[in-house]
């Protein structure tokens, strides 16, 4: 499935996955329309090879820096339940702008935003980075919506992230399905590892 998926990848594609980590099970529940995935990255080619650019923290990436991984590493069946490939309606110029913006953020030392604060551009989480990158690359033609966590979700955020409930109650987040359940994105293929 990884080999098949790799042949489908094009620059600017969105690649989403569902990790086996328990935190991923919670993250996918912030999705309102499709609870299949918990993490996202964007594909760019280097020397003819596709890499998924993404930002994550925890055991997989202790420093929380923006990173690039092969599809095999990113969607490893030993660590994930499956993955999906989606394609935005963006032209070649917009793809170049998006790639340039991710390189700028990488050079600036962008790291994971554990406060999930959409008001800062120096710290971001995966779906926030993609939302902001697409907005910049398309001059806001593609503007990904946000999701407001429920009160119970805000309580979980407060406890899990050690933040005040007064803060987490006001959060708006870019849920993973916000990235692909919109008119500017279509599914290329989805792969379920059958666990």
CATH number for 77: 3.90.1720.10
Q: What is the mean pLDDT of residues 136-164?
A: 93
Does the pLDDT at position 15 exceed 90?
A: yes
Using CA atoms, how far apart are residues 127 and 39, in angstroms rounded to an integer? Answer: 8
Plot region of 139 (φ>0 → left; ψ -120 to 50 → alpha; else → beta): left
For the residues of 113-182, what is the DSSP string, one character each? -TT--TT-SSEE-HHHHHHHHHHHHTTTSS----BPPPHHHHHHHHHHHT--HHHHTT--B--GGGGTSS
pLDDT digits (tens, 9 = 90+) for 78-129: 999 999 999 999 999 999 999 999 999 999 999 999 899 999 899 999 999 9
pLDDT tier at 195, thresholds 50, 70, 90: low
Whether 68 maps to a domain, the answer reads yes
The tally of domains found in the chain comes to 1
Maximal C-alpha separation, the chain: 48
pLDDT score, position 22? 82
Nearest to 40 by CA among 49, 52, 31, 32: 52
The 3-state DSSP class for residue 16 equals: strand
Does the pLDDT at position 156 exceed 90?
A: no
pLDDT score, position 25? 82
pLDDT score, position 106? 93
Angle between helices 126-137 and 92-107 (to 10 degrees): 130
What does the mean pLDDT of the chain come to? 94
pLDDT score, position 161? 83
Full-model pTM? 0.94
Domain of residue 143: give its range: 2-188
pLDDT digits (tens, 9 = 90+) for 168-185: 999 999 999 999 999 999
Whether 39 maps to a domain, the answer reads yes
Whether 194 maps to a domain, the answer reads no
The 3-state DSSP class for residue 39 equals: strand
Whether 12 maps to a domain, the answer reads yes
Whether 195 maps to a domain, the answer reads no
pLDDT digits (tens, 9 = 90+) for 20-75: 988 888 889 899 999 999 999 999 999 999 999 999 987 788 788 999 999 999 99
Whether 165 maps to a domain, the answer reads yes
Which has more pLDDT, 98 or 156? 98
Whether 24 maps to a domain, the answer reads yes
């Amino acid at each position: 499935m990884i080999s098949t998926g790799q042949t489908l990848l094009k620059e600017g594609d969105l690649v989403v996955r569902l990790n086996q980590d328990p935190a991923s099970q919670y993250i996918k529940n912030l999705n309102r329309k499709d609870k299949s995935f918990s993490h996202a990255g964007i594909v760019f080619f280097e020397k003819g090879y596709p890499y998924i650019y993404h930002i994550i923290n925890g055991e997989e990436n202790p420093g929380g820096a923006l990173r690039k991984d092969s599809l095999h590493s990113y969607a490893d069946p030993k660590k994930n339940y499956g993955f999906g490939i989606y394609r935005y309606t963006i032209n070649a110029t917009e793809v170049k702008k998006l790639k340039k913006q991710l390189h700028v953020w990488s050079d600036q030392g962008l790291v994971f935003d554990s406060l999930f604060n959409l008001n800062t551009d120096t710290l971001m989480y995966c779906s926030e980075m993609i939302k902001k990158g697409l907005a910049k690359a398309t001059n806001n033609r593609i503007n990904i919506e946000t999701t407001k966590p429920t009160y119970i979700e805000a309580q979980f955020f407060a406890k899990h992230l050690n933040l005040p409930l007064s803060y987490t109650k006001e959060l708006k987040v870019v849920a993973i399905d916000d990235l692909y359940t919109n008119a500017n994105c279509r599914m290329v293929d989805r792969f379920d590892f059958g666990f």
